[in-house]
Amino acid sequence: MKIPFLSFNAMHSHIKIEIMQAFEAFYDSNWYVLGKQVTEFEQAYANFNQTTYCVGVSNGLDAIHLALLALNIGEGDEVIVPSNTYIATWLAVSYVGATIVPVEPDIRTYNIDASEIEKAITAKTKAIIPVHLYGQACAMDEILQLAEKYNLFIIEDNAQSQGATWNNQITGSFGHANATSFYPGKNLGALGDAGAVTTNDAFLADKIKVLRNYGSNKKYYNEAIGHNMRLDECQASILKVKLNYLTDWTRQRQTIASWYNEALQNIGDLRLPFVHDNATHVYHLYVVRTAQRDALQQYLTKEGIGTLIHYPVPPHLQNAYQSLGYNQGAFPIAETIANSCLSLPMYPGITSQEVSLVCKSINDFFKK
């Protein structure tokens, strides 16, 4: 039996009729950019995310970029980011011309180590971008305390953690302006690119609305050098349907994680996800670690089991960031994670039998 890393089949077949109806309504509306669908989705996602405002944008990378622009962060400013994240977090900082200041993660949670942030703060620091990686919320109380002490902005990168919580508060509601991604494989995924910024600040929400739309809030009148970074009506109409299922899908992901947790106890040097007592994990990814990662991945591939590595090369070692001058060893914790992490199949609809098969194959590999 083949077990893919990700399959949309179960999720999408269940809601196909509703999605087709939503698509038809969008199609027949004759209105395709910035209309009723976007406004209704923004309202629904703001409600879900317990923020006053949500601004739908083109993707998660643009969401971070727009948040930085709206906060006037640019050249001469420093922005603290995790050393282990998807490169988008770093790219957005580069786009506005600010300086990237990487901080290492906690090796247990893989999220930015809040106790390491203070050392990285200088007179030029303007913002911290905590990334709720793999689906687990960062230690937000410590991060918020630092932001208050040093008068810094917080921009959460919530691309991977829609619905996760820290001390019962939902991620994407802590920072000044928070980014999320609705890339198809995300916990809430569109059928194409999409993203959003969530905020409780009316001024920032308005500014981001203007910046996403050519710097305009009145057709053909432009008050800023803005961008075309809009969420489109088609994706919004689909996201509106899918949002109704997100809580159920999250529960399924948590159940699947519990199957893995149970079946993968005490196997060789295999490390399972660690969830902080104050955090919830929505398992965008179920990431294990082992020194034999590459061999394990090859073995599982031969067994017909799909896995991925999130991420094989940390941003500081990417060719794109050669100019920053970081060598191997600059961020050893990020490098250790990159060299040892493996994401197992995780998606609503994977069955307990399939998960058992994955776990049996992992067991067999370690027995050899």
Binding site for ligand PLP (CB under 6 A): 59-61, 85-86, 88-89, 131, 157, 159-160, 181, 183, 193, 195
Identify the burial level of 160 via C-beta atoms within 10 angstroms of its C-beta, where 0-12 means exposed, 13-18 middle and 19 or more buried.
buried
Beta carbon nearer to ligand PLP, 159 or 288: 159
| Least distance CB 179 / ligand PLP (angstroms) | 7
| Least distance CB 71 / ligand PLP (angstroms) | 17
- What residue is closest to ligand PLP based on CB? 60
Beta carbon nearer to ligand PLP, 157 or 233: 157
Going by C-alpha positions, the residue among 76, 121, 124, 77 that lies closest to residue 103 is 121
Beta carbon nearer to ligand PLP, 315 or 362: 315
CB 336 within 8 A of CB 244: no
Residues in the chain: 368
Distance CA 298, CA 76 (A): 45
Sign of CA dihedral 183, 60, 180, 125: positive
| Least distance CB 87 / ligand PLP (angstroms) | 8
Beta carbon nearer to ligand PLP, 135 or 226: 135
| Least distance CB 111 / ligand PLP (angstroms) | 11
Distance CA 28, CA 194 (A): 21
Beta carbon nearer to ligand PLP, 45 or 183: 183
| Least distance CB 85 / ligand PLP (angstroms) | 5
Beta carbon nearer to ligand PLP, 65 or 209: 65
| Least distance CB 329 / ligand PLP (angstroms) | 24
CB 350 within 8 A of CB 3: yes
Beta carbon nearer to ligand PLP, 46 or 61: 61
Beta carbon nearer to ligand PLP, 284 or 293: 284
| Least distance CB 185 / ligand PLP (angstroms) | 8
CB 208 within 8 A of CB 66: yes
Beta carbon nearer to ligand PLP, 181 or 198: 181
Eight-class DSSP state of 127: E
| Least distance CB 55 / ligand PLP (angstroms) | 14
| Least distance CB 133 / ligand PLP (angstroms) | 6
CB 125 within 8 A of CB 132: no
Going by C-alpha positions, the residue among 277, 356, 274, 282 that lies closest to residue 105 is 274
Distance CA 88, CA 250 (A): 24
Three-class secondary structure assignment of 28-71: HHCCCECCHHHHHHHHHHHHHCCCCEEEEECCHHHHHHHHHHHC
Distance CA 67, CA 297 (A): 37
Looking at the DSSP assignment, which residues form a beta bridge with residue 154? 128
